Amino acid sequence: MRTRNWLLLALGSLLLMAGQCGQQVNNPPEKPTGLVAIPGDRQVVLNWNANTEPDLKGYNVYWGTASGALTNVEYVPKPATSKTVTGLTNGTTYYFALDAEDTGGLKSARTDEVATAPVAPDTTAPTITSTVPANGATLVALDSNLEVNFSEDMDVGTVTVSISPSFDLGDPTWNPENTRVSFDPATNLSSETTYTVTVEGKDHAGNALAGSKTFNFTTVGSPPSVLSTAPANGDTNIPVNTDITFSFSEAMDRTTVEGAFSSSPSITCTWSWTPDSKLATCNPPTDLSFNTNYSVTLGTGAKDLAGNPMATAYNFSFRTASAPDTTKPTVTVYFPADGATGIARNINIEITFSEPMDKASTQTAFQITSPAGVTGTFSWPSSNRMVFNPSSDFAYGTNVTWQVTNAAKDLAGNTLASTVTHSFRVIRQKTVNLESQAALDGFVYNTGSVYTTSIGLAVGDTSANTSMRGFLSFDLSPLVTDSATNITSATLYAYQYLVMGAPYTDLGGSLRAESVNYGPSLDATDFETSVLSYTYTLSTNDTAGWKSVSVLSKVRDDYTNRVARGNRSQFRLRFPTTTNVDGGSDYAYFYTGDASSYKPYLQVTYEYP
């Protein structure tokens, strides 16, 4: 029984399914997508995306002049996805919609409306409305940007901007409306150069640029400047009848300079110029006011011949004298002092006046009357101080006399109160031969024997292998008497008259002159007295005759310490080896101060007042 019921149920299900398969079921197409309207001249082009239904028949296009009232319809068969609606009125807004229709006549839902208005074709050519710099502009800054403005939006891909002379403008920058293109060059334009800019391009309708497509401009040149003025900034005690002069870096446009001049208090000018237009002079027809501060300005209206203005205004001020200057100038200070002695040979003569002087007349009024023929150059550390630098050094001991005559004038033209004459003496030079002091020279044995009265001194060793050292002493008192200021040379001279054995071979090869200070008497302890820094080689051979050596450092040291050393310069003569212990005599004999001739001497050249 249960099996039969199951079979009946299955049979019923099969019958139901069979009935359903026998019926045809259709669905409408999907609503089209991507509808766009492109306006044209009295027409609109519609485009949309294709539907994909296999039973699609085509599309119905609806349009009208009011939204929601699309009274016009036109069928478009597949596979078309575009429709041009013609016969429309330019400037009128039209609304459009679309549906899809299948072969069974079923239609999709309509698309949302799209609206547009047909337009007449653009046949108006674009033009350039303005440029920066403007056409014909001059004195354009070297760091200027370039800008071109158009009458309508441009097809930027067609626009070219070129410049001559060639210059790298850099990349163009457009505004959002594509009506202005600008350039910001990485480098400056060249100065005093005329540039020509040429522009080409089209608008979006393909209309080429019309009208003037070129413009030019000229860049600014290097600005002129004021190099100096007279009076100078900060000058005081200026005569009221002074002129005001301007020195420029280049030739100037005279009219612009004169027009750019101003002052406080006001100064009226009668102008004059040098032929090269570089020096302008304002000659006031009336004197300036006494004891007054004047501030002068030359504004940026002053231009050079190329029309370049000064970069900044030039300002300076000066103060006029308190009253008419009728006071004669005087010499207040001079160097060297009158009657001075010991003046350096390369001395400059410096003269200070009581007030600023006229340089030309003052230099002419200066002269060295003795010695004759001295030439030199002048300098002015300040307006009232003159320095004369002789072309060559004065000779030693020259008596120099100089004067400034009353032809010297101050800035007001007042002459020097009186001629000024002064003298000085240049440092002198002397050479003296200082003979060895007989009472203090001699020789000493290492055994203690001292000999100071012999005409000769022995240096070396004996057959008994004892050693001898010689001593010389010179009196520096003549230098002290002359107040020597500088020792320029000093040479020790000693006469070798006898050599026994071979001291130069056996005792070290040379005879030394050592700097010592053994005082007012020679005794046995001086054999080993200490050396004072300096050791010299007096002789290297046994040839008879004068032996000499420069001892400048030694003598300078003794003179510096003359008080402590009793005005003496003393030497010890010795061989490097005390004795070679060979039982033979090896020594050299030199004359002493006790000799009648060939006495040792110290030749000294020195400067003194």
The SS3 call for residue 415 is: strand
Domain boundary, last residue among 116, 136, 161: 116
In a domain, 225, yes or no: no
In a domain, 122, yes or no: no
The confidence band for 7, taking pLDDT boundaries of 50, 70 and 90, is very low
Question: 464, exposed or middle or buried, with CB in 10 Å at 0-12, 13-18, 19+?
Answer: exposed
- Residues of the chain above pLDDT 70, percent: 96
CATH assignment at residue 73: 2.60.40.10
- The tens digit of pLDDT for each residue in 488-532 reads 999 999 999 999 999 999 999 999 999 999 999 999 999 999 999
Has this prediction a pTM greater than 0.85? no
Average per-residue pLDDT in the chain? 94
CATH assignment at residue 343: 2.60.40.3710
In a domain, 226, yes or no: no
Same domain as 275, residue 179: no
Same domain as 420, residue 436: no
- The tens digit of pLDDT for each residue in 33-46 reads 999 999 999 999 99
pLDDT higher than threshold 50 for residue 8: no
Domain boundary, last residue among 191, 219, 247: 219
Sheet holding 376-382, edge to edge: 331-335, 349-353, 385-390, 376-382
- The tens digit of pLDDT for each residue in 255-291 reads 999 999 999 999 999 999 999 999 999 999 999 999 9
Same domain as 406, residue 440: no
Same domain as 443, residue 421: no
Same domain as 549, residue 438: yes
Domain boundary, last residue among 411, 426, 441: 426
- The tens digit of pLDDT for each residue in 180-235 reads 999 999 999 998 899 999 999 999 889 999 999 999 999 988 899 999 999 999 99
In a domain, 601, yes or no: yes
CATH assignment at residue 477: 2.60.120
pLDDT of residue 20: 41
Same domain as 291, residue 211: no
Same domain as 552, residue 479: yes
In a domain, 150, yes or no: yes
In a domain, 300, yes or no: yes
Domain that holds residue 459: 432-608
Question: 597, exposed or middle or buried, with CB in 10 Å at 0-12, 13-18, 19+?
Answer: exposed
In a domain, 172, yes or no: yes
Lookup: tokens for 442: 């001699």
Place of tokens 């019921």: 5
Ordered DSSP codes for 306-317: T-PBPSS-EEEE
Same domain as 342, residue 410: yes
The SS3 call for residue 553 is: helix
pLDDT higher than threshold 80 for residue 360: yes
Same domain as 198, residue 93: no
The confidence band for 9, taking pLDDT boundaries of 50, 70 and 90, is very low
Extended beta strands in 486-552, E state: 486-500, 511-516, 535-539, 545-550
- The tens digit of pLDDT for each residue in 15-25 reads 334 344 444 55
Q: Is the peptide bond before 336 cis (omega within 30 degrees of 0)?
A: yes
Same domain as 350, residue 258: no
CATH assignment at residue 148: 2.60.40.1220
Q: Which residues pair with 386 in a beta bridge?
A: 351
pLDDT higher than threshold 60 for residue 414: yes
Same domain as 561, residue 594: yes
Provide mean pLDDT across the span 447-454. 95
| DSSP-based helix, strand, coil % in the chain, nearest 5 | 10, 45, 45
Same domain as 493, residue 372: no
In a domain, 573, yes or no: yes
pLDDT of residue 21: 40
Q: What are phi and psi of 562, to 5 degrees?
A: -65, -35
- The tens digit of pLDDT for each residue in 539-592 reads 999 999 999 999 999 999 999 999 999 999 999 999 999 999 999 999 999 999
Q: What are phi and psi of 359, to 5 degrees?
A: -60, -45
Q: Where is average pLDDT lowest: 57-66, 139-148, 335-344, 542-551?
A: 139-148
Lookup: tokens for 15: 């019958």
If one counts the domains in the chain, the total is: 5
Q: How far apart are CA 283 and CA 160, in angstroms?
A: 57
Distances (CA, A) of 287 to 101, 180, 320, 502: 109, 60, 10, 98
CA angle 522, 526, 532 (to 5 degrees): 115
pLDDT higher than threshold 90 for residue 26: no
